[in-house]
Amino acid sequence: DTAVSQTPKYLVTQMGNDKSIKCEQNLGHDTMYWYKQDSKKFLKIMFSYNNKELIINETVPNRFSPKSPDKAHLNLHINSLELGDSAVYFCASSPFYQPGVPNEQFFGPGTRLTVL
């Protein structure tokens, strides 16, 4: 059984389009995240939600809008796609959110977005 799943795996689109990436976790975790990994493999946090509430927004352009319909899902919608948005986007989840207490993040397989 897949713990953290993302769809689609690959997404190729034109500049200016709007697209969504979906993420689901079946681990019963409270906290979910979106990360962006660029072509140099640098992985950077974008957003974090705990029990459907936004707790981290890392100065991401407002063309990116996360939505958490329930604790098990965190989707990412991107408006007016730009060339620089090309990257691999990873969803992750962790069991709980307690400030300062480290816990494991479980990552999905990634969505490779290519903007032409």
Partner 1 sequence: TQLLEQSPQFLSIQEGENLTVYCNSSSVFSSLQWYRQEPGEGPVLLVTVVTGGEVKKLKRLTFQFGDARKDSSLHITAAQPGDTGLYLCADFSGGYNKLIFGAGTRLAVHP
Interface residues with partner 1 (CB under 8 A) are 4, 31, 40-45, 48, 55-56, 58, 90, 92, 94, 97-110
CB of 88 to partner 1, least distance (A): 9
Residue with token string 């981290």: 56
Q: How far is the CB of 94 from partner 1 (least distance, A)?
A: 8
Burial of 108 (0-12, 13-18, 19+ CB in 10 A): buried
- Whichever of 14 and 40 has its CB closer to partner 1, that residue is 40
- Whichever of 92 and 115 has its CB closer to partner 1, that residue is 92
Q: How far is the CB of 80 from partner 1 (least distance, A)?
A: 27
Cis-peptide into 8, omega within 30 deg: yes
Q: Are 111 and 11 in contact (CB under 8 A)?
A: yes
Are 109 and 3 spatial neighbours (Cβ–Cβ below 8 Å)?
no
Between 14 and 39, CB nearer to partner 1: 39
